[in-house]
A and B are shown apart, each in its own frame.
Chain A
Amino acid sequence: MISEKTDRIVYMDNNATTRVAPEVVEEMLPFFAEYYGNPSSMHTFGGQVGQKITEARQRIAALINASPEEIIFTSCGTESDSTAILSAVQSLSDKRHIVTTRVEHPAVKNLCESLYSISGHKHKVTQIPVDKYGMLDLEKYRDSLTDETAIVSVMWANNETGVIFPIKKMAAMARERGILFHTDAVQAVGKIPIDMTEVPVDFLSISGHKLHAPKGVGVLYVRKGTRFVPFLFGGHQEQGRRGGTENVASIIGMGRACELVAARMDDENTRVKALRDRLEEGLLQAVPRAILNGHKTERLPNTSNVSFEFVEGESILLHLDRFGVCASSGSACTSGSLEPSHVLRAMGVPFTAAHGSIRFSLSVYNTDQDVDYVLEHLPKIISDLRAMSPFWQETVTEKAE
Chain B
Amino acid sequence: MWEYTDEVKEHFLNPKNVGEIENADAVGEVGSLACGDALKLTLKIDDTETIVDAKFKTFGCASAIASSSALTEMIKGMPLAEAEKVTNEDIANALGGLPKEKMHCSVMGREALEAAIADYRGVILPMAEGEVVCECFGVTDLEVKRAVKESNLTTVEEVTNFTKAGGGCGKCHDRLEELIQEVREESPTPAIPDQRPKRMTNIQKIKLIEDVLEKEVRPNLRKDGGDIELIDVDGDFVTVSLRGACGSCLKSQTTIKEYVEKKLREQVLDSLVVEEAKA
Contacts and interface: CB of A to CB of B under 8 A. Distances in A.
Contacts of A351: 33-34, 36
B13 interface: yes
Contacts of A315: 12, 60-62, 65
Interface magnitude class on chain A:
20 to 34
Nearest to A333: B61
A191 interface: no
Given A338-B160, A391-B38, A352 B57 contact: no
Interface string A320-337: 001000000001111011
A390 B28 CA distance: 12
A355 B36 contact: yes
A318 interface: yes
Given A312-B61, A314-B61, A338-B164, A388 B37 contact: no
A129 B137 CA distance: 24
B18 interface: yes
Contact of A2 (B13, B20, B160, B167): B13
Interface in A359-401: 387-391, 393
Interface in A4-62: none
Nearest to B168: A339
A230 to B, nearest CB: 34
B173 interface: no
Contacts of A313: 61
B73 interface: no
B181 interface: no
Given A312-B59, A355-B36, A339 B167 contact: yes
Most A Cβ at <10 Å: residue of B29, B59, B137: B59
A387 B62 CA distance: 15
Contacts of B220: none
Contacts of A253: none
B15 interface: yes
Interface in B55-87: 57-62, 64-65
B33 A310 contact: yes
Contacts of B101: 336
B40 interface: yes
Contact of A389 (B12, B14, B59): B59
Given A1-B13, A322-B13, A351-B33, A389 B58 contact: yes
B39 interface: yes
B15 to A, nearest CB: 7
Given A315-B12, A387-B18, A388-B58, A340 B38 contact: no
Residue from A322, A334, A336, A338 with most neighbouring chain B CB atoms (10 Å) = A338
B136 interface: yes
A333 B167 contact: no
A206 interface: no
Nearest to B137: A338
Interface in B110-159: 136-137
Interface in B172-197: none
Contacts of B62: 314-315, 318
B164 A390 contact: no
A393 B14 CA distance: 21
A220 interface: no
A390 B168 CA distance: 24
B36 A331 contact: yes
B18 A338 contact: no
A320 to B, nearest CB: 12
Interface in A278-336: 310-315, 318-319, 322, 331-334, 336
Contact of A390 (B40, B136, B137): B40
Contact of A312 (B14, B37, B136): B37
B13 A333 contact: no
A339 B137 CA distance: 10
* B18, B57, B60: residue with the most chain A Cβ atoms closer than 10 Å: B60
Task: Give the most central of A1, A2, A314: most B CB within 10 Å.
Answer: A314
B167 A391 contact: no
Nearest to B165: A338
Nearest to B39: A390
Given A337-B167, A338-B168, A389-B58, A332 B36 contact: yes
B65 A388 contact: yes
B37 to A, nearest CB: 7
A79 B12 CA distance: 39
B10 to A, nearest CB: 11
A398 to B, nearest CB: 14
Interface string B3-46: 00000000011110010100000000100011011111000000
A12 B33 CA distance: 27
Given A312-B36, A338-B168, A339-B168, A390 B61 contact: no
Contacts of A389: 57-59
B167 A338 contact: yes
B59 A311 contact: yes
Contacts of A388: 15, 18, 57-59, 65
Nearest to B36: A332
Contacts of A390: 29, 38-40, 57-59
14 contacts: A311-B59, A314-B2, A315-B61, A331-B61, A332-B36, A333-B37, A334-B61, A338-B164, A339-B36, A340-B36, A351-B36, A388-B59, A391-B33, A391-B59
Interface of B: 2, 12-15, 18, 20, 29, 33-34, 36-40, 57-62, 64-65, 101, 136-137, 160, 164, 167-168
8 tightest A-B contacts by CB? A338-B167, A333-B61, A314-B61, A390-B40, A390-B57, A389-B59, A351-B34, A332-B36
Given A337-B167, A338-B36, A388-B57, 11 more contacts: A312-B37, A312-B64, A314-B61, A322-B13, A332-B36, A333-B37, A333-B64, A338-B136, A339-B168, A340-B36, A390-B38
